[in-house]
Amino acid sequence: MSLPVVAIVGRPNVGKSTMFNRLAGERIAIVEDKPGITRDRIYSRSEWNGREFHLIDTGGLDFGEQDEILDHIKNQVELAIEEADVILFVVDGRDGVTSADEEVARLLYRSNKPVIVAANKIDNIKHKDEVYEFYQLGFEHVIPISSIHGTGTGDMLDVLVSHFPDKEEEAYDEDTIRVSLIGRPNVGKSSLVNAILGEQRVIVSPVAGTTRDAIDTPFEYEGQKYVLVDTAGIRKRGKVYESIEKYSVLRALKSIERSDVCLVVIDGEQGIAEQDKKIAGYAHEAGCAAIFVVNKWDAVEKDDKTLDRFKQKIRDHFQFMEYAPILFVSAKTKQRIHQILPLVSEVAEQHAMRISTSVLNQVLHDAMLRTPPPSDRGRRFRVQYSTQVSVKPPTFVLFVNDPELAHFSYLRYLENQLRNSFSFKGTPMRIVLRKKNS
């Protein structure tokens, strides 16, 4: 299920990035006492009273002198507003209403989204009455806060969460494999969607999706039900959207949250970019099954070693995803397109695989006999008992004598032994340590 999105918007230097960092729980945005420091939207995840949500920090809206950077900031903010479910409009409570605040308010009226005004920099209770003038901006909720000290942020979050959309019911049955194509703009996601759906044996029945402004495409292939989740090929966007690379991150996040399997699409012509690693990392962290799909392979000049070299580059750049298989395809010529769905089914099955407790304990016991853990000042890491607690991704709890004795490299060894025994192709794996008496 896709999480709600909150966009933090306002003129420059009102404390948006400080607010973002407080809600995100870490120092992500660059904070400096100069207008215009935040130029691109920055994403994070936050939680309040059990409701998780995405958070977008945006650059300050300046309606004065125009230049290329300010136009870019305005485009970014407009994209964030469009993607948001709720908007947090930050103003400077000590400055009072400015003409720039009024300009921002006019932009927000057109969005028809819930807007909460956060009157920032109210560090002293004596200044609380000064915020009433912000009601003239025309929004129902005006809340005095201090993003530096945290005063009032609890009240503000209560109001924010109250405007989140209701949690959606899952629209598909348990056997349906939810697939999304994620990657940078212009790597060929749309073409791949069309190529997959263009297979003669695929029955397509598009229906309205379960998230705002999205269309999922359910279909059936060789008896297996699939649904393509909210991908670039289904949600048509103007060129401005595809030209702004940052936009791909949030779209990837929202697709990943609703997927079983992610196809991480890489441009075979252009090669691997930093953004590819970032987007693939979100799928890994979310516990999604994944397949690397190198598109435009027909356009690459090749010799007999080109494919192996590209595979090695992927393994070098994505060392945290060694489990993900790699396919080289061409949406244009349909090269190897027929291999995608069978591989999706295979990794989805591995993603949902459950191992019996007795077999799991035997495999780990044998692995530890073959290669005992190293001794640490006379003490040695021991696993007394293990069990699989969940699937999608496969998650194992190991009850041990002391979690602190477990070295990262040894846990990696145990994971590799599980993969050697059960494959777990295409899926990340979670190993959680618990002290035996806890």
Nearest Cα residue to 265 out of 346, 345, 351, 331: 331
Confirm or deny that 188 is annotated as ligand binding. yes
Is 49 part of any known ligand binding site? Answer: no
Locate all alpha helices (DSSP H) within 326-430, ordered by sequence.
340-351, 357-370, 408-422
> Does 113 belong to an annotated binding site?
no
**H-only helix segments in 84-188:** 99-109, 153-162
295 is in an annotated binding site: yes
What is the spatial distance between Cα 202 and Cα 156, in angstroms, rounded to a whole number? 48
The answer to whether the annotation marks 16 as part of a ligand binding site is yes
Phi, psi of 215 (to 5 degrees): -125, 120
Q: Is 299 annotated as a binding residue?
A: no
129 assigned binding-site residue: no
Q: Is 96 annotated as a binding residue?
A: no
Q: Is 190 annotated as a binding residue?
A: yes
Q: Is 246 annotated as a binding residue?
A: no
Is 12 annotated in a binding site? The answer is yes
Q: Is 189 annotated as a binding residue?
A: yes
Judge whether 298 is annotated as a binding position: yes
User: Residue 308, annotated ligand binder?
Assistant: no
For residue 311, the surrounding DSSP H or E stretch is helix 306-317
Tokens of 431: 């190993």
Peptide bond into 114 cis (omega under 30): no
Q: Which two tokens stand for residue 163?
A: 């405007």
The answer to the question of whether 122 is labelled as a binding residue is: yes
Tell whether 10 is in a known binding site. Answer: yes
255 is in an annotated binding site: no
Is 4 annotated to bind a ligand? Reply is no
* Calpha distance 382→433 (Å, rounded): 11
Q: Is 95 annotated as a binding residue?
A: no
Is 13 marked as binding a ligand?
A: yes
Is 186 annotated as belonging to a binding site? yes
Task: Confirm or deny that 393 is annotated as ligand binding.
Answer: no
Consult the annotation and say whether 158 binds a ligand. no
Determine if residue 11 is labeled as part of a ligand binding site: yes
Ligand-binding site membership of 58 (annotated)? yes
Q: Six-digit token pair at 340?
A: 């995608």
**277: annotated binding-site residue?**
no
Contact 256, 286 (CB under 8 A): yes
Q: Which residues define the annotated binding site?
A: 10-17, 57-61, 120-123, 183-190, 230-234, 295-298
Q: Which residues define the annotated binding site for GTP?
A: 10-17, 57-61, 120-123, 183-190, 230-234, 295-298
